[in-house]
A and B are shown apart, each in its own frame.
Chain A
Amino acid sequence: MTAERKMRINDVQVKFEEGETVLACARRAGVRIPTLCHFDGLSDIGACRLCLVEVEGSAQLAASCVTRAEPGMVIRCHTTRLAEYRKVILELLLAERNHVCSVCVANGNCELQDLATEHQIDHVRFDYQFPALGVDLSHGQFGVDHNRCILCTRCVRVCDEIEGAHTWDVAGRGGTSRVITDLAQPWGESQTCTSCGKCVELCPTGALFPRGTSVGGLVRDRGRIELAMAHRRHESCHG
């Protein structure tokens, strides 16, 4: 006899399908869990740590995007401890590079900015690192500003998994990591980029942008890509 596929998330009883993640269940139940590296349709890597939740009976926090739902699980997503951890993680990101929203193309259209507002971050408790990173404007249509990059690797994954071009990668390690195109050549010289624009659409911040966008001028149209991904999910289920 298989146990009934039911679990509790923040005291809401949720039914789930075999293999579903805790994050997917929570979203279906209308419970909001913040995320940055996750994007529906891309592989999950558990890297941003914002989606950590408490699992009853476990000493460790679990990244809900990579944790499978199990019968009888009891999940808490919004404790004071988690709220503080999320706040610190966001502050650490804000201090890592250069996130001066007032001069950013994504001002008003940025997931990091939205999360900071949601978590009531009015000041950052850590030293701003402000590394002087470059901006690559060699591509005819798009630009990359490494100072705004949060290393979520959505660009890497969408380009590899959806577009199939594998133009992006991560080079270096630790705090010196950065995203690169091809073998760290200028984006404009990339042999693999098809200029499809998917990476630009999915970038959560102002790191990737269409050329000629002015401060606060970034608009996104993710519908097109979401459709493509839903199609792919459909194929992988039935193919």
Chain B
Amino acid sequence: MSPDDLDGIAARENASRKPIQIRCCTAAGCLAVGAESVRRELQGVLEQHPLRDQTEVIGVGCMRLCGFGPLVRRDPDGTTFAGVRPADAPAIIAGQGPELTPLDMHQPFFRNQKSVVLANCGIVDPERIESTIAAGGYRGLRDALTLHSPAEIVQFVTRSGLRGRGGAGYPTGVKWSIVAGSTDPNKHVICNADEGDPGAFKDRTILESDPHRVMEGMVIAGYATGARTGYVYVRGEHPLVTDRLQKAIDQAREFGLLGTDILGRGLIFDIEIRVGAGAYVCGEETALIASIEGGRGIPHPRPPYPGKVGLWGAPTLINNVETYANIGAIVENGPDWYSAIGTPTSRGTKVFSVAGRVVRTGLVEVPMGTPLREIVEVMCGGAPKGARIKAVQTGGPAGGFVPEPLLDTPVDYEAMAAIGSIVGSGGMIVLDETTDMVEMARFFMDFCRDESCGKCIPCRTGTVQMHGLLERIGRREGTRADVLRLELLADVVRHTSLCGLGRSAPNPVTSSLRHFRGDYEEKLRGGPKS
């Protein structure tokens, strides 16, 4: 395959489309509420239907409004239906029926999204590479190989201002240049798809909906850094991700987009899937590498960082799913296009999975700098039944609570850190006025206590003690001295633990103490201070 062949494939694919396309979401959220039977029924009804020659049913990825699935869209006009049942199939094919009320696609939930990473989610069939290519897939890779040197690509990524989407926000270009700068002939690229935070589902959804975009980013990373092998580390409990990704890898090899002569340009790069055991700590990069090597997935002290000494001792680039998913667009549209989106220190867009006590749960992609209030109130409709929002939790067990009065804080790495939370990898949980913040802090501490690998003393024993203190305060048996102990342990565990799990485990506690001390005071033995 040569670079020009991409256009041919796209043209053939577009020419073979029927005028009416019925797109059914087949991402996990919709599958869980019966999307597969809806799709089968649509297919079955269509076979006997007068419109069958002009209509086709396509399985696609996430259409974002996950809480209202199964979602079905009728194109080209884009009429979208929520909560579809198999019985709705005839009406959807006909494009009318009394029982159908289409979603308002101009509502802020859809209108205020800015699609870069999710541009093809809900549009392409993730199980057919031709569908992706027709929608512009692999054009970034083509441009990289035909127009730019590897050094230029690293420059692009640096200038774009992209920061890692796995949680820490480390400048991606810096990481790439460290690996590219090594003269070691043996280098690796890893995509971290472990995503273990409770409530987070954006990486999984990206991979289920548009696996080629992530793979394209990895191949470009291989070209830029000189790595020849790529691994995607996914959780065993998400078989749909593994299946779709494997299909995508097989098809990309067949089409010459992976292998030993990529796009006829002699580039060598291939991708393999590695399935993890499903421990949260395996998402930590050194634990992840140990797990791929076949060892126990426990963290190791850094430095050395993986960029210098990584997988099997070789320089290794490790990035998050969403980080790679930005790369193709950055190469295709240029770094200036990308850095024009967002804020001066946080460029581009960010994908969040919004869940909890909120009217519209689902996936949103917004420009960095968007205020939290706009996401949870304007786009997602606030708390159901007119309840008030108490706080928004970002960053899962490593993050913090943003209280309602601070919801005007923009999604920006520095702004979020300043109020004691983090942008995080993409989980956003809305809490309403009925939420007990001590119980929330206890929930996350319970998670960290369970997921601690046990290697280092402060995390292994400190999370157990902190959890016990939170339980006691929750039972209204705690004292002021217990709160002091909690604060002491938070300080020690944060500053002395070996890896990020322990270092960030106290965050939900310190953040809830900072913003919701009243919730603690009210429970202390003897009642709040008078």
Q: Which residues of A contact B (CB under 8 A)?
A: 45-49, 52, 60-61, 63, 66, 84-85, 88-89, 92-93, 95-96, 125-127, 129, 150-151, 170, 172-177
B contact residues around A95 at 8 Å (CB): 461, 465
Q: Are A174 and B495 also in contact (CB < 8 A) when A66-B301, A126-B465, A127-B468 are?
A: no
Question: 3 smallest A-B Cβ distances: which pairs?
Answer: A177-B454, A174-B452, A46-B301
Q: Does B165 lie at the interface of the complex (its beta carbon under 8 Å from any beta carbon of A)?
A: no
Q: Which of A46, A52, A63, A151 contacts B460 (CB 8 A)?
A: A151
23 pairs, A vs B, C-beta closer than 8 Å: A47-B457, A49-B497, A52-B496, A61-B495, A63-B301, A63-B498, A66-B301, A84-B492, A85-B492, A85-B495, A88-B458, A88-B489, A92-B462, A92-B465, A93-B457, A95-B461, A96-B464, A126-B489, A172-B454, A173-B451, A174-B464, A175-B449, A176-B454
| A172, B498: Cα distance in complex, Å | 18
Within 8 A of A (CB), among B444-474: 449-458, 460-465, 468
Q: Are A47 and B458 also in contact (CB < 8 A) when A66-B301, A129-B464 are?
A: no
Q: Does B279 lie at the interface of the complex (its beta carbon under 8 Å from any beta carbon of A)?
A: yes
In the complex, the answer to whether B485 meets A126 with C-beta atoms within 8 Å is yes
| A4, B402: Cα distance in complex, Å | 49
In the complex, the answer to whether A49 meets B301 with C-beta atoms within 8 Å is no
Within 8 A of A (CB), among B257-294: 279, 281
Q: Are A173 and B453 also in contact (CB < 8 A) when A46-B301, A92-B461, A125-B485 are?
A: yes
A226 → chain B closest CB, angstroms: 25
| A64, B289: Cα distance in complex, Å | 23
In the complex, the answer to whether B457 meets A175 with C-beta atoms within 8 Å is no
B476 → chain A closest CB, angstroms: 17
Provide the B488-507 mask, 1 if CB < 8 A to any CB of A, else 0. 11001001111000000000
In the complex, the answer to whether B457 meets A89 with C-beta atoms within 8 Å is yes
B contact residues around A177 at 8 Å (CB): 453-454, 460
Q: Which of B451, B454, B456, B461 has the most CB of A within 10 A?
A: B461
Within 8 A of A (CB), among B470-526: 485, 488-489, 492, 495-498
B contact residues around A151 at 8 Å (CB): 454-455, 457, 460
Give the dominant DSSP class at B's interface.
Answer: helix
Q: Which of A127, A173, A177 has the most CB of B within 10 A?
A: A173
In the complex, the answer to whether B450 meets A92 with C-beta atoms within 8 Å is no
In the complex, the answer to whether A85 meets B454 with C-beta atoms within 8 Å is no
Q: Are A92 and B449 also in contact (CB < 8 A) when A63-B301, A126-B485 are?
A: no
A contact residues around B468 at 8 Å (CB): 127
In the complex, the answer to whether A174 meets B465 with C-beta atoms within 8 Å is no
A87 → chain B closest CB, angstroms: 9
In the complex, the answer to whether A47 meets B498 with C-beta atoms within 8 Å is yes
B contact residues around A96 at 8 Å (CB): 460-461, 464
A48-B457, A127-B465, A151-B457 are known; give 4 further A-B pairs, CB within 8 A.
A49-B456, A49-B497, A92-B458, A127-B468
In the complex, the answer to whether A174 meets B496 with C-beta atoms within 8 Å is no
In the complex, the answer to whether B301 meets A89 with C-beta atoms within 8 Å is no
B287 → chain A closest CB, angstroms: 11
Q: Which of B296, B454, B492, B496 contacts A175 (CB 8 A)?
A: B454
| A18, B119: Cα distance in complex, Å | 51
A91 → chain B closest CB, angstroms: 9
A148 → chain B closest CB, angstroms: 15
In the complex, the answer to whether B464 meets A175 with C-beta atoms within 8 Å is yes
| A18, B452: Cα distance in complex, Å | 34
In the complex, the answer to whether A89 meets B458 with C-beta atoms within 8 Å is yes
| A88, B462: Cα distance in complex, Å | 9
| A92, B456: Cα distance in complex, Å | 11
In the complex, the answer to whether B279 meets A175 with C-beta atoms within 8 Å is no
| A177, B457: Cα distance in complex, Å | 11
In the complex, the answer to whether A89 meets B465 with C-beta atoms within 8 Å is no
Q: Are A89 and B492 also in contact (CB < 8 A) when A47-B498, A49-B498, A125-B485 are?
A: yes
A contact residues around B279 at 8 Å (CB): 173
Whose C-beta in chain B lies nearest to the C-beta of A49?
A: B496
B172 → chain A closest CB, angstroms: 22
In the complex, the answer to whether B449 meets A174 with C-beta atoms within 8 Å is yes
| A150, B463: Cα distance in complex, Å | 16
B159 → chain A closest CB, angstroms: 27
Q: Which of A45, A47, A61 has the most CB of B within 10 A?
A: A47
Q: Which of A45, A93, A170 contacts B461 (CB 8 A)?
A: A93
In the complex, the answer to whether B465 meets A173 with C-beta atoms within 8 Å is no
A93 → chain B closest CB, angstroms: 6
Q: Which of B451, B465, B498 has the most CB of A within 10 A?
A: B465
In the complex, the answer to whether B450 meets A174 with C-beta atoms within 8 Å is yes
In the complex, the answer to whether B461 meets A48 with C-beta atoms within 8 Å is no
| A127, B462: Cα distance in complex, Å | 11
Whose C-beta in chain B lies nearest to the C-beta of A178?
A: B454
Whose C-beta in chain B lies nearest to the C-beta of A152?
A: B457
Whose C-beta in chain A lies nearest to the C-beta of B503?
A: A60
